[in-house]
Amino acid sequence: MLKSKKWLGAIAVIIGLIVLNVVGQYFYHRFDFTKDKRFTLTQKTKDLLLKNKKPILITVFLNGELPPAFKRLQASVKDLLADYKAYSSVEIKVVFVDPLADLNGAQQDTVVNNLYQNGIEATNLSVKTDNGLTQKLVFPMAMIESDGKQIPVKLFQNLQAGGNYEENINRSIENLEYTFTSSIKKVINGSNPRIGFTESNGELSDLQLYDAMHTLSNSYEVGRINLKTIDKAGLDKLKLMIIAKPTIPFTETEKYKINYFVLNGGRVVFSLDQVSADLDSLRGNSDQMVFNNKLNLDDMLFMYGARINYNVIADANCAEIPVATGGGAGQIQLAPWLYYPILQADTISTLVKNLDGIKAEFASTVDTIGAKNVVKTYILKTSSFNKVFNVPKLFSLQMVAEQPDPKSFLNKPQNAAVLLEGNFVSVFEGRPLPAGIDQPYTNKSISDTTKLLVIGDGDIFKNQVVAKDGSPLPLGFDRYTQKTFGNKAFLLNIADYFTDADNLIALRNKEVKIRLLDRAKVKLEKTKWQFVNIVAPLLLLILFAIFQHYRRKYKYAR
């Protein structure tokens, strides 16, 4: 009777396992027991993977011998892509490769150049080991391919020059789902949104915008547009218009075209200098009187719900500039320049979440104006140690030696950028058509739901240029301090947020808690924990075997 019960129990267990496997073929579910749900995909990602009908190939170049921090990134990529494969309705093939494996120096140079031509960029790391610093070339990139189209994907975000990578790796891991999901969507949709930088009013040159346009061109159609000549059909093809540091006043005709673009649901970024301050002008003169810039856009911004003030922000949290010390011919040193504030991101908004400080030059404060059906969100601000100067004001490089008075600089943070979302009223409602517009482009008085961004600085998207050969540097990189600020990441966030109807940038809200080892304790107790993790289990196994041997001998000897 007892034996039959045991057999029945065993059969029941086997039948239960069979039923569970059969049910599992039709009902799929993954259990995530982590506190921060790091292995749980958002519903937006699941929907995209289920709707997709095109096979996808993902080649990850982060492989081979890697520093420990990048091994964590690699492991997170593997875990995430395993989830993508599990939820996808079609095949997703994932391949990890080391592009420099078994290659000599000349061959490696060729491979690096070929990969760069396809948007796969290498990162040269100074890795700290027990024996000191070593150089390592890694490729924290991936290539997503589908239906004959491909897009490079950057896995390592917010690179800082020469420092501890742990925090940046953590940020990169948090952004992986957004990075892969948004890139997969662009590949399978086929068509890329069109972004236009205006050039009709003395805006930044192609060279100054080189890295901004080059970076965006990996995922978008990017070019320059002339508001004097572009027609309605040309505006209809645009998704995002960026007005970066104009210096010539806008005509009513040009403003009419911008207004039509907004009414039709187009998105616009106003990156404006309201004052005429410029560091290059100060270098050539002993001093410079700074006046208001007359761009003829104040009424338009007022109607939309924002105002850029005619002032200059000074902030103790600022960038440094090279100045002559007078200690000898050509002797230069770096000094803080209060009028190059490092703007901080307001983490409430997903548009700027996890961004590093953003370098600005002679920035102005931004206020909001009452406007119905418009939601206003401040996204960039100064530190709490700042002072605002109204113009006109006399500037000179001698001001670099001034020490800020702590009492006068203690101030609440000043806002330097505002995001406007909603339905905007027409600036030209009830007004006659401007010269050159024969027929109304639209009869709307209220815009479709759209987004505008107003920034009180025109240099946010400007890259530095090497004076010797005229070559552009990466956006956000400061050649003097060798620091990389968050300007490029900010631009990419804007492009994604303003062109993506599904608002995938909300995926950046995921926060992954990385529980790092105590490096000092590891170094101090390295031998101890090696013994605990390697030798102790072997000793326990040997002791158990000896115990089992004598137990069996005692049992059966009787």
430 domain residue, yes or no? yes
Among 461, 485, 509, the domain-final residue is 485
Would you mind telling me the total number of residues written for the chain in this entry?
A: 558
Whether residue 181 is found in the same domain as residue 196? no
- Residue 408 to residue 405: CA distance in whole angstroms: 5
Phi, psi of 184 (to 5 degrees): -60, -40
Whether residue 140 is found in the same domain as residue 202? no
87 domain residue, yes or no? yes
Whether residue 478 is found in the same domain as residue 525? no
- Residue 304 to residue 261: CA distance in whole angstroms: 13
Check residue 30 and give its pLDDT: 61
- Residue 551 to residue 62: CA distance in whole angstroms: 52
CB burial readout 420-439, b (16+ within 10 A) else e: bbbbbbbbbeeeeeeeebee
Token pair, residue 419, equals 């995001």
Whether residue 165 is found in the same domain as residue 260? no
11 domain residue, yes or no? no
Phi, psi of 421 (to 5 degrees): -135, 130
Among 171, 186, 201, the domain-final residue is 186
- E strand or H helix that includes residue 60: strand 56-60
Query: What is the chain's alpha carbon radius of gyration, rounded to the nearest angstrom?
Result: 29
Check residue 161 and give its pLDDT: 42
Closest C-alpha among 250, 251, 223, 219 to residue 238: 223
**pLDDT tens across the length of the chain (558 residues):** 555 666 777 777 778 777 767 666 555 556 555 555 556 788 888 888 888 888 999 999 888 888 778 888 889 899 899 989 988 888 999 999 888 887 777 787 888 888 888 888 887 776 666 666 667 778 888 999 988 888 888 888 654 444 456 677 777 888 888 888 888 888 887 768 899 999 999 999 999 999 999 988 877 899 999 999 999 999 999 999 999 999 999 999 999 999 999 999 999 999 999 998 888 777 766 677 888 899 999 999 999 999 999 999 999 999 998 887 665 556 778 889 899 999 998 877 778 877 889 999 999 999 999 888 899 999 999 999 999 999 888 888 878 877 777 788 888 999 999 999 999 999 999 899 999 888 999 999 999 999 999 999 999 999 999 888 889 998 998 988 888 898 998 998 899 899 887 777 767 666 655 555 666 666 677 787 777 788 888 888 888 888 887 777 777 766
Closest C-alpha among 441, 451, 440, 307 to residue 367: 307
Answer yes or no: pTM beyond 0.85.
Answer: no
Query: Do 475 and 215 meet the contact criterion of CB atoms below 8 Å apart?
Result: yes
Give a three-class secondary structure readout of 72-85. HHHHHHHHHHHHHH
338 domain residue, yes or no? no
Whether residue 539 is found in the same domain as residue 420? no
Whether residue 151 is found in the same domain as residue 200? no
Token pair, residue 176, equals 């992986």
321 domain residue, yes or no? no
CA 557 → CA 180, 446, 548, 550, distances in Å?
A: 65, 97, 14, 10
512 domain residue, yes or no? no
Whether residue 174 is found in the same domain as residue 197? no
Q: What angle do CA 3, 4, 5 make, to 5 degrees?
A: 90
Among 186, 218, 236, the domain-final residue is 186
- 3-class secondary-structure state, position 294: coil
Number of domains, the chain: 3
Whether residue 123 is found in the same domain as residue 262? no
130 domain residue, yes or no? yes
Whether residue 218 is found in the same domain as residue 180? no
**Which residues on adjacent β-strands are paired with residue 387?**
314
84 domain residue, yes or no? yes
- Residue 259 to residue 426: CA distance in whole angstroms: 7
Whether residue 475 is found in the same domain as residue 534? no
Q: For residue 326, is it left (φ>0), alpha (ψ between -120 and 50) or beta?
A: left
Whether residue 221 is found in the same domain as residue 72? no
Whether residue 175 is found in the same domain as residue 70? yes
- Residue 509 to residue 278: CA distance in whole angstroms: 37
Domain with 528, as residue range(s), is 520-552
